[in-house]
Each structure stands twice: as C-alpha cells, then as structure tokens.
Homo-oligomer: A and B are copies of this chain.
C-alpha cells in the first residue's frame, strides 16, 4: 500500500516530464527513430530507473506529433511490419528552449518550497 502511493506519485510526475524528455532526445538524435529505438535509447539514458514504460511512450509521441513538434513517416521494413520513424520539426526545435525554461522555473520553485524558502 505504501509502495502503491509512491508508484502513483512517480507515474504522475512522469506524465508531465515524458514529453520534455522525448523532445530533448529527439533533438539530440541526428536521425529519424522508431518507437522501439527511442524506448531503448531512453532506457540507456535513464539507467536502472526505468522512469517510464515503453507503452507510455506512444501516446506522448502521438501527442507531440499532433502539436506539430514531431513529424513521422512510415517506412516499409524488409524483414517485418512497416515502422513509423519520428523526427523533431522546426517547431519542435523552436519550442524546446521554452520548455526547458518552464522546466527550470518549476524545478527551482519546487526545490525552494521543499527547502521551506520564500521564492519571491
């Protein structure tokens, strides 16, 4: 029961941060990537933490595409089903610095409140 409360908290925290992580990873990637590659790369980057499950990536990828921050292209594969490759768009590159800034402000605000400091 205690663990469940912590899992729920982690899940809510991830919900807001996955889009930022994904957009940032797609900016650093220099080639289009498909879902499984992105998930593997995130797994490498997040080490043991397993910050998010692979299944949680797809809705965020779609949402980023719907907002025009990523684009995708389906490529037939010789050995399996066709794959959808994602790339960051110009709009995504344009928005990322603002998202970073929102992240920094929110992060510092939370850290200040956790320390019991005024943030004025």
- Copies of this protein in the complex: 2
- Majority secondary structure, A binding face: helix
> Per-residue 0/1 for A42-66: is the Cβ within 8 Å of any B Cβ (1 yes, 0 no)?
0011110101000000000000000
With A6-B95, A118-B45: A110-B15 Cβ-Cβ less than 8 Å? no
Q: Which of B14, B67, B120 contacts A106 (CB 8 A)?
A: B14
Chain B: minimal CB distance from A116 (Å): 5
Please report the C-alpha to C-alpha distance between residue A70 and residue B71 in the assembled complex, in whole angstroms: 44
Please report the C-alpha to C-alpha distance between residue A10 and residue B47 in the assembled complex, in whole angstroms: 26
Range for the number of chain A residues in contact with chain B = 35 or more
For A100, give the chain B residue with the smallest CB separation: B114
Show 30 residue pairs from A and B whose CB-CB distance is below 8 angstroms, ordered by the A residue. Answer: A5-B67, A5-B95, A6-B95, A6-B99, A6-B102, A8-B67, A9-B20, A9-B99, A12-B15, A12-B19, A13-B17, A13-B20, A13-B102, A17-B106, A20-B114, A21-B113, A24-B114, A45-B113, A45-B118, A46-B109, A47-B119, A47-B120, A49-B105, A49-B109, A49-B119, A51-B106, A51-B109, A103-B114, A107-B110, A107-B111
